[in-house]
A and B are shown apart, each in its own frame.
Chain A
Amino acid sequence: MATRTRLARLWPLSKPSALPLIRPYHSYDHPPPPGPFNPTESSILEAAIPHIPTHGFTHTTLSIGASDAGYIAASTNLFPNGAFSLVHYHLYTQRLALAKHQHIISPPPREGEKPIGIGGKVKALTWERLMGNKEIIHRWQEALALIAQPSHLPTAISELSSLSDEIWFLSGDTSVDTSWYTKRASLSAIYAATELFMTTDKSPNFDDTRDFLDRRFKDVQIVGGTMGSVTQWAGFTATAALNVLRSKGVRI
């Protein structure tokens, strides 16, 4: 019996998925599991990325990438998801690139200046991620059309939640209570809305996008603040009521 239960425990509890996007158990002793792309795929996709501004998220870009990387153009057969692989690769590499922004993640301490808090880091990293779309933003609506296909949607949603998780983690957030969920959900919503706004932004240096993003963060602060005080108030009232009864000699 003991053997059987233990064996059962060694089977993965979650169904093994083809795309190990959500990486459980981040180890510091052991290297991370392989990413979603093998070396050949990565080299073709990497070579294709510079052609997106001209040719978009299309099969043409993929073929050009394959020939640039030294493969025959037919190697695009490697990608059963076709042009969506370009979208996925962009999302994946841009997410991992966030860790390079060391000036935000661990800025050198400056004299007489308050160090940037977790919230500030979240905002700054979200902005950096949006700026990762700068070169391809005029093509992003093509990508959104690919993302909206039912077979691609799970991957894209999973990438979005991984992005939120990455930003909160890099910002140094360590909360592991219910707020873990609300933080990631609200950041995902803010990011998705701002990214969509950015596709139509014609202002210099994306100033309008910046304002839009700031307003979204403010909205969440107001909602989050209210929610927090309601829970606090409920807890306080319950404790106060118990204490009144206790002072009256009720043994509760």
Chain B
Amino acid sequence: MALYTSSKHAKFLATGLPIYDFLAPSLLQASRASLQIRHLTKAKRYHSAAASNEKHDKSPSQPSRNPRSGADAASNPPPLKKPLTQAQRDFLTSALRVNQAGELAATLIYAAQTPPIISSHPHLRPLMKHMYDQEATHFSTFNALMAKHRIRPTAMYPLWTLAASALGWGTAIMGREAAMACTEAVETEIGGHYNGQVRVLLEMAEQMEKNGDDIGDELKDLIETIRRIRDEELEHLDHAVEHDAKQAVPHELLTGVIRAGCKGAIWVSERV
């Protein structure tokens, strides 16, 4: 644990990490190409981080991600490994809690935006549905992880429900560009947030490997899941920019306010 937080070590890790796990703005321009790169590097990075596990392409619907019943958990005690440290468990707890809150908000934003947007721009129906469906999958993925790992949801749940619906509906009323600017702002924050989590988790994995501990499938799966979801969020960001998010007036003010709101919500959800 002492090693883990020593600044010298962290600095080494920070510089030693490959560039593609940082949210580089230049990736946002050429959407298809950048996604390709992200997928390729993802696989490569994975094999260097986690010794070997060929059949790792798990979908969120696979049983391993579903919460185990208490019975199952009780009759198959975990193998003998070192317990996670308090700091590690705290990080995982707040990370999953804030992710669930974020995906709750995302589903509600898209759900609230959809009716006003498609009534004035019917051709956007498939896109809105596609993005909503992906958010709904993210939400259920994190719901299952929360239940499985026995994590308390954020106490702000009712407040986020209201705020997200209001944000989605409000921006949709302002028009297509404003709605897309909202998506742009939210997905930029979320993409960066997921990137930050992946970095911390990779550091955690590297540290555990160095100490000779097995990081286990649970954490490997979690890293893969967050990466996959991060890529989908960045895809939403690309869609928003393709659909004239930048043309929203006043673009800077709107995205600035929404991004500040996201930052605040993330900060609060990590804590309460």
Do A30 and B78 contact each other (CB < 8 Å), given the known contacts A170-B70, A251-B120?
A: yes
Q: Is A102 within 8 A of B75, CB to CB? A: yes
Do A10 and B91 contact each other (CB < 8 Å), given the known contacts A30-B83, A176-B100, A251-B120?
A: yes
Q: Which of A19-27, A46-54, A68-76 contacts B (4 or more CB under 8 A)?
A: A19-27
CB distance from A242 to the nearest CB of B (A): 8
Q: Is A20 within 8 A of B14, CB to CB? A: no
Q: Is A105 within 8 A of B74, CB to CB? A: yes
Instruction: Flag whether A16 is at the interface (Cβ < 8 A).
Output: yes
Instruction: Flag whether B144 is at the interface (Cβ < 8 A).
Output: yes
Q: Is A33 within 8 A of B86, CB to CB? A: yes
Q: Please name the residue on chain A nearest to B169 by beta carbon.
A: A252
CB distance from B271 to the nearest CB of A (A): 6
Q: Is A12 within 8 A of B90, CB to CB? A: yes
Q: Is B7 within 8 A of A7, CB to CB? A: yes
Q: Is A31 within 8 A of B270, CB to CB? A: no
Q: Which of A59-67, A85-93, A177-185, A221-229 contacts B (4 or more CB under 8 A)?
A: A177-185
CB distance from B89 to the nearest CB of A (A): 4
Instruction: Flag whether A6 is at the interface (Cβ < 8 A).
Output: yes
Q: Is A105 within 8 A of B70, CB to CB? A: yes
Q: Please name the residue on chain B nearest to A249 by beta carbon.
A: B119
CB distance from B255 to the nearest CB of A (A): 21
Give per-residue flags for B1-22: 1 if the beta carbon is below 8 A from chain A beta carbons, else 0: 0001101001100100000000
Give per-residue flags for B209-250: 1 if the beta carbon is below 8 A from chain A beta carbons, else 0: 000001011110000000000000000000000000000000
Give per-residue flags for A162-183: 1 if the beta carbon is below 8 A from chain B beta carbons, else 0: 0001000111101111101100
Q: How far is the CA of A37 from the CA of B149 in the complex (A)?
A: 23
Q: Which of B196-215 contact A (CB under 8 A)?
A: 196, 199-200, 203, 214
Which listed residue, A32, A105, A181, touches B71 by the CB 8 Å rule?
A105
Residues of A within 8 A of B151 (CB): 24-25, 176
Instruction: Flag whether B257 is at the interface (Cβ < 8 A).
Output: no
Q: How far is the CA of A27 from the CA of B91 in the complex (A)?
A: 13
Q: Is A33 within 8 A of B83, CB to CB? A: yes
Range of interface residues on A (Cβ < 8 Å): 35 or more
Q: Which of B25-33, B41-49, B50-58, B152-160 contacts A (4 or more CB under 8 A)?
A: B152-160
Instruction: Flag whether B92 is at the interface (Cβ < 8 A).
Output: yes
Do A33 and B89 contact each other (CB < 8 Å), given the known contacts A28-B73, A246-B119?
A: yes
Q: Is A178 within 8 A of B157, CB to CB? A: yes
Q: How far is the CA of A99 from the CA of B199 in the complex (A)?
A: 36
Q: Is B93 within 8 A of A24, CB to CB? A: yes
Q: Is A6 within 8 A of B115, CB to CB? A: no
Instruction: Flag whether B163 is at the interface (Cβ < 8 A).
Output: no
Q: How far is the CA of A105 from the CA of B74 in the complex (A)?
A: 10
Q: Is A13 within 8 A of B94, CB to CB? A: yes
Q: How far is the CA of A10 from the CA of B85 in the complex (A)?
A: 11
Q: Is A181 within 8 A of B155, CB to CB? A: yes
Residues of B within 8 A of A246 (CB): 115, 119
Residues of A within 8 A of B218 (CB): 27-30
Which listed residue, A33, A99, A174, touches B144 by the CB 8 Å rule?
A174
Instruction: Flag whether B146 is at the interface (Cβ < 8 A).
Output: yes
Instruction: Flag whether B84 is at the interface (Cβ < 8 A).
Output: yes
Q: Please name the residue on chain A nearest to B6 by beta carbon.
A: A7
Interface residues of B (CB under 8 A from A): 4-5, 7, 10-11, 14, 67-75, 78-84, 86-94, 96, 100, 115-116, 119-120, 143-144, 146-153, 155, 157-158, 169, 173, 196, 199-200, 203, 214, 216-219, 270-271
Beyond the given A6-B10, A7-B10, A24-B90, please list 15 additional residue pairs across the A-B interface where CB-CB is below 8 A: A3-B11, A3-B14, A12-B86, A13-B271, A25-B88, A25-B90, A27-B83, A28-B68, A30-B83, A32-B78, A33-B84, A106-B72, A176-B151, A177-B153, A252-B169
List 24 contacting pairs A-B, 8 Å CB cutoff, sorted by A. Answer: A3-B7, A9-B91, A10-B4, A10-B87, A10-B91, A10-B200, A11-B5, A13-B94, A13-B270, A13-B271, A16-B86, A23-B150, A25-B88, A25-B90, A25-B150, A28-B68, A29-B78, A29-B81, A29-B219, A106-B71, A172-B70, A178-B158, A251-B119, A252-B169
| Those 3 A-B pairs whose CB atoms lie nearest each other, nearest first | A29-B216, A106-B71, A170-B70
